[in-house]
Amino acid sequence: MCGIVGYIGSRNAARVIVDGLQKLEYRGYDSFGVATNNPRIEVFKRKGKISEMGSDAWSLHGTIGIGHTRWATHGEPSDRNAHPHLDCRGRIAVVHNGIIENYAALTRELRERGHEFRSETDTEVVAHLVEEFYDGSDLRTAVEKTVARLEGSFALLVTVEGLEEVIAVRDSSPLVLGIGDREVFAASDVTPLLGYTERVVYLEDGDLATLDREGWRVYSHGHPVRRRVEHVDWDVETVKKGGFPHFMLKEIYEEPRVFHDTLHGFAASSLPERYRHPPEITVVACGSSYHAGLVFKYLCESTCRIPVRAELGSEFKYFTPPLKGIVTVITQSGETADTLAALKKARAYNCPTLAITNVLGSTVTRIADHTLYMRAGPEISVAATKSFVAQLAVLMRLIDLMRGNDRLLTALEQANTVIGEVLLLDIDRAVEICRPAEHLFYVGRGLFYPIALEGALKMKEISYIHAEGYAAGELKHGPFALLSDQTPVVALCPPGDTYSIMLSNIKEMKARKAPIIGIGASGDRELTDIVDVFLPIPESPELVQLVATSVVLQQLAYRTAVALECDVDQPRNLAKSVTVE
């Protein structure tokens, strides 16, 4: 969602900020803006793409500035609603991520006191509040008093004319500092910092940081506090396309390595004893991460015989399940608001909590009792790809760690080779079937049911084709009414327990004239003969087939979206990390 970058140093602030905002584009946005402090406040903000208009902001002067990418929540995407927002006299500039829940009441109050508002956003109220409290020299106190009036979640950067300072505040919305040589950065996540510094400080909720020519200081409740400088080893090349036309394709091609590295990233001691024999496990996650959680449920219940409940983060807070055992949250970004809310609820129930995430220092790692990291590196494309297979790797390995053996690790040994092989599959005919369709079904059974859900999600989010994932047996309970020669079905039919019944289901769908794209084991003549297009997965253990099938479905979505000329990396209306509930 929205992204923030701030800078104070000796470089041209606007260039650094535009460069940083570009690296945050992946979070999803509709407008962007920059304000520099030179010592007058200069502002450039526009609805539209940084790649098209970002360089126009370079003309702003100064070595201090703040910038923002906006994903509209309050007020339409427009130049006027883009951040930064200013106070009445244009001396105080503010950028904000999150939501100010009491903005309407505050706006009324400030209007009565004579403040003039120019936008429909919830953010502008912050600039006017700072204006109320600013005495001409002490910005920190003015921001502290402002924050005391705000309800909601926010990460803020504030700068004021005539003062060589940027104030950064974090409350339930992520914010990191980048520590350079006589320069300090602030950003929503570490990606804008890559290439400038590897030293970062993860601010905590309630922190206020001052960035000035002397360096940086952090305060909590008005008192100075120490925050550790940590080292980030992500490479700046990982946030570049490296010759690929889209980040999504690049990230799909990274999957053999990502799966292998993640799988081998855990020692037996990676899982503390208290997580090994829980009476029950509750997994909470959203979107693709939830689908990974469903795979875990199927796998863990059948191998460890431990009951596993998989819940959607967005629903978890609306009921009170009887929680016992451990609560595991899965989140690539570590910042998904619904997942974090669920995690806090689990803590309130005194359940041991385990987080699975890709992002070092993300909020989830600060709340959970213990964290297992995926080794996917930064994922820039909005659609989760390499992070999904990395989640599968962590979750499969988690089962080994719980059982105290390496059985799944051994079974998955050749997974990276098989993933590499399916990257080369010819899927042209499958793309030709999907491309003109208005509706698609994805069906699977058992472990492959969540993979069908994930395949459909991938297709709909980037190609805008309506795609439904179903447990294959459920089609007959309603959706069969929709089957025709206009509704292609992607059927996952691996060898194993579900094979024969899947084959029967496919024949039933065929009898309703639905074109079938079948995915199964290489050399499966029977399946090849009944489907319209057969996509073979090299012979391998079931879990390897599962991961490889996910990769084929990602490719199918990608290739179809490209054929339809969709904005693959930044699909309309979507954001990479959903930081509001």
The residue of the chain with the least Cβ separation from ligand F6R equals: 287
Please tell me whether residue 333 binds ligand F6R under the rule CB under 6 A.
Answer: yes
Given the residues 2, 286, 300, 351, select the one marked as catalytic: 2
Q: Compute the least distance from the CB of residue 381 to ligand F6R, in Å.
A: 8
The answer to whether residue 555 forms part of the interface with ligand F6R (CB under 6 A) is no
Characterise 351 by phi-psi region: left (phi > 0), alpha (psi -120 to 50), beta (else).
beta
The amino acid that residue 485 corresponds to is D
φ and ψ at 112, to 5 degrees?
-60, -30
Q: Does 562 bind ligand F6R (CB under 6 A)?
A: no
User: How many residues interact with ligand F6R (rule CB under 6 A)?
Assistant: 15
The CA distance from 398 to 293, in Å, is 12
Angle between helix 386-403 and 255-263 (nearest 10): 20
Q: Give the DSSP letter string of 480-534.
A: GGG-STTS-EEEEE-SSTTHHHHHHHHHHHHHTT--EEEEEETT-HHHHHHSSEE
Q: Is 336 in the site for ligand F6R (CB under 6 A)?
A: yes
For residue 67, the surrounding DSSP H or E stretch is strand 64-70
Spatial separation of the C-alpha atoms in residues 79 and 337, rounded to whole Å: 27
Q: Which of residues 410-429 bind ligand F6R (CB under 6 A)?
A: none
Piece in contact with ligand F6R (CB under 6 A), picked from 47-55, 118-126, 329-337, 503-511: 329-337
Rounded (5°) CA angle 241-242-243: 95
Among 238, 282, 289, 463, binds ligand F6R (CB under 6 A): 289
Contact at 8 Å (CB) between 411 and 546?
no
Nearer to ligand F6R, 31 or 550 (CB): 550
208 neighbors 219 (Cβ within 8 angstroms) = yes
Listed ranges 44-52, 104-112, 328-336, 463-471: which one lies at the site for ligand F6R (CB under 6 A)? 328-336
Residue placing its CB nearer to ligand F6R in the complex, 66 or 384: 384
User: Per-residue contact track with ligand F6R, 431 to 460, x per CB under 6 A?
Assistant: --------------------------x---
Look up residue 269 and give its two tokens.
Answer: 């001691």
Residue 554 binds to ligand F6R (criterion: CB under 6 A): no
Considering the rule CB under 6 A, would residue 384 count as an interface residue with ligand F6R? yes
Sequence-distant (≥ 6) Cβ neighbours of residue 46 within 8 angstroms: 31, 32, 33, 53, 56, 79, 82
Q: Does 331 bind ligand F6R (CB under 6 A)?
A: yes
Of these, 252, 354, 493, 578, which contacts ligand F6R (CB under 6 A)?
578
CB of 417 to ligand F6R, least distance (A): 25
Task: Give yes or no for residue 561 binding ligand F6R (CB under 6 A).
Answer: no
Q: Which amino acid is at 31?
A: S
Task: State which residue, 62 or 571, has the beta carbon closest to ligand F6R.
Answer: 571
**8-state DSSP, 9:** S
- Interacting residue with ligand F6R among 20, 65, 178, 287 (CB under 6 A): 287
Helix/strand/coil for 172: strand
How many angstroms separate the Cα of 504 from the Cα of each of 25, 386, 487, 488, 498? 46, 33, 18, 17, 10
- Among the listed residues 130, 127, 7, the one whose alpha carbon sits nearest the alpha carbon of residue 65: 7
Q: Which stretch binds ligand F6R (CB under 6 A): 139-147, 286-294, 502-510, 539-547?
A: 286-294
Q: Is 2 a catalytic residue?
A: yes
Indicate the residue among 445 and 458 with the shorter CB distance to ligand F6R.
458
Residue with tokens 């024969």: 500
Closest among 449, 423, 441 to 548, alpha carbons compared = 423
Tokens of 220: 């909590």
> Is residue 576 among the annotated active site residues?
yes
Most distant CA atoms of the chain, gap in Å: 80
Taking the least distance from each CB to ligand F6R, the nearer of 516 and 580 is 580
Residue 122 or 461 with smaller CB distance to ligand F6R: 461
Question: Among 45, 297, 386, 576, which one carries the catalytic annotation?
Answer: 576
Question: Is residue 191 at the binding interface for ligand F6R, with CB under 6 A as the rule?
Answer: no
Cα distance between residue 45 and residue 542, in whole Å = 52
Interface with ligand F6R in residues 497-526 (CB under 6 A): none
Query: Taking CB under 6 A as the rule, does residue 550 contact ligand F6R?
Result: no
**Binding of residue 461 to ligand F6R (CB under 6 A):** yes
Contact residue for ligand F6R among 63, 339, 353, 463 (CB under 6 A): 339
Is 193:187 a contact under the CB 8 Å cutoff? yes
- Pick the binder of ligand F6R from 288, 314, 463, 505 (CB under 6 A): 288
Q: Where does residue 137 rank: exposed (0-12), middle (13-18), buried (19+ CB within 10 A)?
A: exposed
Closer CB to ligand F6R, 184 or 249, in the complex: 249
Q: Which residues bind ligand F6R (CB under 6 A)?
A: 286-289, 331-333, 336, 339, 383-384, 457, 461, 577-578
User: Where in the sequence numbering do the catalytic residues fall?
Assistant: 2, 576
